[in-house]
């Protein structure tokens, strides 16, 4: 088998899209390994993801034919290598459970990424000592005054390292609009509540005060409008009156870790397509 | 075994409450069947629920001794028969899935209630024809102008029937503050969203617009502040981008039905105690 | 829009299947409304489901072209009307919660079926009196001796009514191999445990004895090998040490009802394809 | 506040147990912080757990009084320090996700234990290199022939280190009956299936073959009868036809990690009481 590729696209819905896309791959000698599509009837928009073995012929032919087709159907889309680990930059503040989880998954070969940098506004000593090992760590402290410079350094780092995704793994700083714009579509945040409930600070304490019976976490793309970006994944767990805010925080760590890991995995596997303020998520 | 009783109480926390309560029951010849307690460390308040067989001696002794103890410890509490079905008045508008579920559970002997009236602002024909059978049905239409009278009729009905609990089973009318006050602590509503997300009208459409990945329902005591009463029970189910608002409504029906039924059962079994704007729920 | 159709197929995997199927529909003037496919890499078998608007041209052309394609690719498949309610025969013994749930869903227009008969080995009085209304009810008692005749009557009824699906909604009789064979692929059973745990009788009591911490239910196609048919859907709920066998039965009713309803809906919408002893389930 | 204690007990049920236990604590000047009890009506056995502040008086008085009471009521029970981290020995083979999870939780102060040794039948290099840091590691390889000696070494290690709990964190060796006996009541295993389904080897492959729609994990006390010990905690996650055995293994790692961590936490907090082949679990 040649190196598998993954094609993702969205376009205005009309007859023949699937036939044309799959026909193109078939004529080029490709073989579909996995495919999903979604017709959004409220927006009349079409979404597709195809994993395929391109076959023996040079892949340039497929790229060219798809580029042609994209014009015809007004598609936004791309073809990418399926199995190449994506470069990821992880940002963290003091609570490092999401970082720990992502890194462990990567170390055992489960998370298809190459971590190119870990950035924190806290010094290396604030991070649980066994986590980083030889991962490149950058301490970029931030105050209200130094925020523009600090964010500029992050942008430099993204460019130097070629990071394709920035993961805010409990990075407790609000990004400027400029930074959010710079990272649009390639920055995932974990919010430690079940959005849209309990936006803002201390969501577990908010949840405790309100007396809810479940808590959750939400992984979403970062936008200028904090806590409002397109949601990729969410999960919840039941709680009871006997759970103190501290116990909610403990239970929350587990939910946050797995919600973020799942969202990152889905993104890295090109399974998440933007649909306005919402997402289309093609699970296998 | 004598007829089992259930004692519920709350009071400021201090040493000796459990010892005194259980000592009282023991001295009176009672036997504890099930007991739970909770010390709320944030409010320093104590909550307790005890199911007990009062034994052979006249129960008046227990009532008297408890009344004495309640004064000493500044308790709010009561002793009730455990197995007497509570009288329930159910209110509904057009969507009758919660009504159907509650009534079926009652018919097969699972819900410990005696439905004394079904009230709707829609006529009997609006209700699925097989549900009501010989249940007393009251059509009490309501407009902005007639709301005070309609609510007065509901109050009358509550008093005439001796209803101990009013269940708003998808009753799509906002109660006046006066009505909410009248029913305080004895009226449960099902809100078709996972509060505090998506308050107000059309929560499934709101959920669709926001692109969340789970939907839920919340059963809560009714207060003057709509959608803000103490929550008794909540549940959620995962959804995907492919779920239209109509499919969310369908999935929601199932969640609403079981969340409301669970909350009603818990209330009827005297398992829900108020703790300010929150609840203490003693499951078995 | 013309009346939507749904095409389902499975065949040995090979390049070009999707391109040919969707090309066929496109050429015929059809428009895909929803499509899913699955390449089973362990069996090298391909599965597909396509909902489509056939367009203006006569549908015979599509049927003919698909029939041709099916030969080429060695497909098992069919084209069916998407929105025609399927005829369903429901069998029940004494516990009628699954029956109640299915019928209510049908009455409010949620379950795309036409119930053509309700069959019980118990008399009509054993069924909760408000459920059946004017549904055709057949009391077909069964003993060890009369089983062959009773099953023959069921087969007759299936043929007379044109039932396309038989639902065993807590029908507590084991079908003979002959009957299972007769109903192969068109008979769904709800087993009141999380298969493969607790096969056989009294699964909730088995679960209690074993001290498990969750209980569940499984909806599956009926095969001669009892409790071993291909599973369509399963769900579980947490339980605790405090749940008596009776409480497990109560909690189980809820799980059984929704697991069976979901499996029946999936089947009626042609979303379940057989894959040996397993199923492929194409949710929207 | 004095150092909190935790009292756990079980005994034949009879009137007055709670009154006597809580009366004892009250008279000694203690204050209850959290209490749960359970009357098992099938076995007529009573279970209780009380966290309490013993107050100013010497705790010997409480120990003595309880010892007296235990005789009167034929109790099995003990009083332990609530906040002293318990000594834990962790055993692992090649898959170290459960080990990683337990150790991380301990490092951030969430798991109330003191890991006194990590034992593996594989060499240190088989363990993900960042996990162990300065934790005492023991490579104790095992073959069929050397099993008795290897198990003897484990027993020695348990005694030398004073380990109060042995956690089999994906330790893929079956313990001898002798070893199981030695560790009775103080050894927790994680089984990578939802018991009682899929006992034995390769449970995820068994689950795939059977075509189930959910997979799970079970944490249980080790007994001589493999996969049959009293279950402490279980959890499941939904899967689909599209999940290969490898994906089930990946999803399973997450479930296993959190099920084991929860069971270990419950045990360390003295929240799990044995009830024959079942457990009573007193969550807060």
Of C130, C243, C258, the CB nearest to B107: C130
pLDDT of C1: 76
Run of H or E including C46 = strand C45-53
Task: Of C193, C208, C194, C203, give the one whose Cα is nearest residue C240.
Answer: C208
Contacts of D68 (CB under 8 A, 6+ apart): none
CA distance to partner chain A, nearest, from residue B220 (Å): 10
Q: Which residue of C has its CA nearest to A24?
A: C19
Residues from chain C contacting residue D38 (CB–CB below 8 Å): 241-242
| D50 and D9 Cβ atoms separated by less than 8 Å | no
CA dist D22 and B26 (Å) reads: 12
Task: Return the number of CB contacts < 8 Å for A and B.
Answer: 89
Of D26, D37, D55, the CB nearest to B19: D26
Phi/psi-derived region of residue D64, left when phi > 0, alpha when psi is between -120 and 50, beta in every other case? alpha
pLDDT of C126: 96
Cα-Cα-Cα-Cα dihedral sign, residues B239, B245, B247, B249: positive
Run of H or E including B188 = strand B187-191
CA dist B36 and D237 (Å) reads: 31
Of D107, D130, D240, the CB nearest to A107: D130
Q: Which residue of D has its CA nearest to A262?
A: D251
**CB–CB contact C258 B254 (8 Å):** yes
| C272 and C279 Cβ atoms separated by less than 8 Å | yes
E-state strands within A140-213: 165-168, 187-191
- Quote the tokens at residue A141: 């402290």
The string over B253-274, giving b where at least 16 C-beta atoms fall within 10 Å of a residue's C-beta and e elsewhere, is: bbbbbbbbbbbbbbbbbbbbbb
pLDDT of A57: 83
Residues from chain D contacting residue B48 (CB–CB below 8 Å): none
- Quote the tokens at residue D268: 């360390």
* Residue ranges of chain B with per-residue pLDDT less than 70: none
D19-40: pLDDT as tens digits:
999 999 999 999 999 999 999 9
CA dist D222 and D177 (Å) reads: 10
Q: CA dist C265 to C23, C99, C259, Å?
A: 29, 14, 10
Domain ranges of chain C: 5-81, 86-268
Tell me the residue length of chain C.
284
**CB–CB contact B212 A234 (8 Å):** yes
Contacts of B40 (CB under 8 A, 6+ apart): A241, B13, B46, B47, B275, B280
Residue D225 has pLDDT above 90, yes or no: no
Tell me the residue length of chain A.
284
CA dist A176 and D104 (Å) reads: 33
pLDDT of B227: 81
Task: Of B264, B223, B228, give the one whose Cα is nearest residue B98.
Answer: B264
CB atoms within 10 A of CB C94: 11
**CB–CB contact D277 C213 (8 Å):** no
Contacts of C280 (CB under 8 A, 6+ apart): C10, C38, C40, C47, C272, C273, C274, D241
Task: Of A170, A103, A106, give the one whose Cα is nearest residue A131.
Answer: A103
* Residue ranges of chain C with per-residue pLDDT less than 70: none
Interface residues from chain D to B (CB-CB < 8 Å): 15-16, 18-20, 22-23, 25-27, 29-37, 39, 55
- Quote the tokens at residue C61: 């052309």
What number does CATH give the domain A86-268?
A: 3.40.50.170
| C35 and C21 Cβ atoms separated by less than 8 Å | no
Q: Kindly list the partner chains of chain B, i.e. chains with 3 or more CB atom pairs below 8 Å.
A: A, C, D
Q: Kindly list the partner chains of chain C, i.e. chains with 3 or more CB atom pairs below 8 Å.
A: A, B, D
Q: Kindly list the partner chains of chain D, i.e. chains with 3 or more CB atom pairs below 8 Å.
A: A, B, C
**CB–CB contact B97 C107 (8 Å):** no
A138-159: pLDDT as tens digits:
999 999 999 999 999 999 999 9
E-state strands within C82-142: 86-92, 113-120, 137-139
Q: Which residue of A has its CA nearest to D101?
A: A101
Average the pLDDT over A66-90 and give the result. Answer: 97
Q: Which residue of B has its CA nearest to C108?
A: B128
CA dist A169 and A101 (Å) reads: 10
Interface residues from chain A to D (CB-CB < 8 Å): 34, 96-97, 100, 104, 107-108, 110, 128-131, 133, 240, 242-243, 247, 250, 253-254, 258, 283-284
C77-90: pLDDT as tens digits:
999 999 999 999 99
Interface residues from chain C to B (CB-CB < 8 Å): 34, 96-97, 100, 104, 107-108, 110, 128-131, 133, 240, 242-243, 247, 250, 253-254, 258, 283-284
Average the pLDDT over A192-196 and give the result. Answer: 93
- Give me the half-sphere count of Cα atoms (radius 13 Å) on the Cβ side of residue D41: 11
Q: CA dist A242 to B37, B283, C174, D88, Å?
A: 10, 12, 46, 27
**CB–CB contact B128 C110 (8 Å):** no
CA dist B47 and B271 (Å) reads: 11
Angle B19-B20-B25 from CA coordinates, rounded to 5°? 100
| A130 and D131 Cβ atoms separated by less than 8 Å | yes
Q: Above pLDDT 70, what percent of chain D?
A: 100
Residue keyed to tokens 């979901």 = C262
Q: Which residue of C has its CA nearest to A36?
A: C36
CA distance to partner chain D, nearest, from residue C241 (Å): 5
Q: Which residues of A are catalytic?
A: 227
SS3 string, chain D, reads CCCCEEEEEEEECCCCHHHHHHHHHHHCCCEEEEEEEEEECCCCEEEEEEEEECCCCCHHHHHHHHHHHHHHHCCEEEEEECCCCEEEEEEECCCCHHHHHHHHHHHCCCCCEEEEEEEECCCHHHCCCCCCCCCCEEECCCCCCCHHHHHHHHHHHHHHHCCCEEEECCCCCCCCHHHHHHCCCCEEEEECCCCCCCCCCCHHHHHHHHCCCEEEEEEEECCCCCCCCCEEEEEEEECCCCCCHHHHHHHHHHHHHHHHHHHHHHHHCCCEEEECCEEEECCC
Residues from chain C contacting residue B128 (CB–CB below 8 Å): 104, 107-108
Confidence of residue A115 (pLDDT cuts 50, 70, 90): very high
CA dist B153 and B173 (Å) reads: 15
| D267 and D188 Cβ atoms separated by less than 8 Å | yes
What 3-state DSSP class applies to C63? helix
Angle D253-D255-D260 from CA coordinates, rounded to 5°? 95
Residues from chain C contacting residue A34 (CB–CB below 8 Å): 38-39
Phi/psi-derived region of residue C14, left when phi > 0, alpha when psi is between -120 and 50, beta in every other case? beta
Of C211, C235, C278, the CB nearest to D230: C211
Q: Which residue of B has its CA nearest to A227?
A: B210
Confidence of residue A200 (pLDDT cuts 50, 70, 90): confident
Of D27, D32, D39, the CB nearest to B33: D39
| B215 and B256 Cβ atoms separated by less than 8 Å | no
Residue D227 has pLDDT above 90, yes or no: no
**ipTM for the complex?**
0.95
C116-131: pLDDT as tens digits:
999 999 999 999 999 9
| B109 and B118 Cβ atoms separated by less than 8 Å | no
**CB–CB contact D241 C197 (8 Å):** no
| B89 and B159 Cβ atoms separated by less than 8 Å | no
| D245 and D209 Cβ atoms separated by less than 8 Å | no
**CB–CB contact B130 C128 (8 Å):** no
**CB–CB contact C280 D231 (8 Å):** no
B253-275: pLDDT as tens digits:
999 999 999 999 999 999 999 99
Q: Which residue of A has its CA nearest to D284?
A: A242
What 3-state DSSP class applies to C275? strand
Of D97, D130, D243, the CB nearest to A130: D130
**CB–CB contact B15 D32 (8 Å):** yes
Of C34, C108, C283, the CB nearest to B128: C108
Query: Chain-wide mean pLDDT for chain C?
Result: 96
| B232 and B272 Cβ atoms separated by less than 8 Å | yes
pLDDT of B91: 98
Confidence of residue A2 (pLDDT cuts 50, 70, 90): confident
Residues from chain D contacting residue C230 (CB–CB below 8 Å): 211
**CB–CB contact A19 C22 (8 Å):** yes
Name the CATH topology of B5-81.
Alpha-Beta Plaits (3.30.70)
CA dist B244 and A205 (Å) reads: 33
**CB–CB contact C231 D216 (8 Å):** no
Residue A226 has pLDDT above 80, yes or no: no
pLDDT of D126: 96
CA dist A180 and A167 (Å) reads: 12
What 3-state DSSP class applies to A268? helix
């Amino acid at each position: 088998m040649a190196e598998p590729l993954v094609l993702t696209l969205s376009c205005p819905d009309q007859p023949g899209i699937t036939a044309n896309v799959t026909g193109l791959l078939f004529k080029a000698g490709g073989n579909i390994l996995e495919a999903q599509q979604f017709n959004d009837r409220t927006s009349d928009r079409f979404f597709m993801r195809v994993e395929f073995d391109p076959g023996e012929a040079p892949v340039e032919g497929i790229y060219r034919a798809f580029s042609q087709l994209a014009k015809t159907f007004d598609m936004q889309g791309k073809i990418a290598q399926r199995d190449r680990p994506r470069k990821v930059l992880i940002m963290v503040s003091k609570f490092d459970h999401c970082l720990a989880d992502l890194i462990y998954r990567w170390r055992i070969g489960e998370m298809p990424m190459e971590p190119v940098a870990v950035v924190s506004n806290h010094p290396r000593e604030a991070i649980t000592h066994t986590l980083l090992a030889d991962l490149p760590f950058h301490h970029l402290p931030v105050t209200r005054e130094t925020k523009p410079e600090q964010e500029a350094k992050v942008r430099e780092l993204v460019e130097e390292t070629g990071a394709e995704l920035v993961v805010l793994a409990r990075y407790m700083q609000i990004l400027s609009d400029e930074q959010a714009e710079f990272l649009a579509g390639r920055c995932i945040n974990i919010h430690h509540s079940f959005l849209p409930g309990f936006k803002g600070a201390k969501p577990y304490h908010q949840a405790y005060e309100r007396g809810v019976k479940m808590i959750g976490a939400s992984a979403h793309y970062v936008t200028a409008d904090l806590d409002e970006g397109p949601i990729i994944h969410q999960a919840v767990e039941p709680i009871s009156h006997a759970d103190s805010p501290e116990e909610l925080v403990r239970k929350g760590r587990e939910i946050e870790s797995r919600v973020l890991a799942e969202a990152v995995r889905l993104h890295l596997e090109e399974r998440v397509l933007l649909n306005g303020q919402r997402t289309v998520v093609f699970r296998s």
